[in-house]
Amino acid sequence: MPSFLLRRALSSVIVIFCVISITFVLARITKGGPFDREKEPPPHIKEALLTRYKLNGTLWEQYSAYVGSLMRFDLGLSTRYRDWRVSELLQQKMPNSFALGGLALVIASCAGVGLGSLAAMKKDTWVDRSAMLCALMSISVPSFVSGPVLIAVFALWLGWLPVGGWGTARQMILPAVCLAAPYVAYIARLMRNSLLDVMKSDFLRTARAKGLSETQAVVKHAVKVAILPVVTFLGPLAAHLLTGSMIVESVFNISGAGMIFVNSIQNRDVFLLGGAVIVYCVLLVLFNLLVDVIYTLLDKRIRLYA
Q: For residues 159 and 106, which has the higher predicted lDDT (pLDDT)?
A: 106
Residues 2-8: what's their mean pLDDT?
75
Residues 189-199: what's their mean pLDDT?
86
93-102: b (≥16 Cβ within 10 Å) or e = bbebbbbbbe
Fold type of domain 94-298:
MetI-like fold (1.10.3720)
276-305: b (≥16 Cβ within 10 Å) or e = bbbbbbebbbebbbebbebbeeeeeeeeee
Report pLDDT digits (tens) over 91-104: 888 888 889 999 99
Whole-prediction pTM: 0.83
Is 28 in contact with 42 (CB distance < 8 Å)? Answer: no
- Position 103 scores a pLDDT of 92
Report pLDDT digits (tens) over 276-303: 888 888 898 888 888 888 877 776 666 6
**Mean pLDDT for the chain overall:** 82
Report pLDDT digits (tens) over 176-186: 999 998 999 89
Parts of the chain belonging to CATH 1.10.3720.10:
94-298
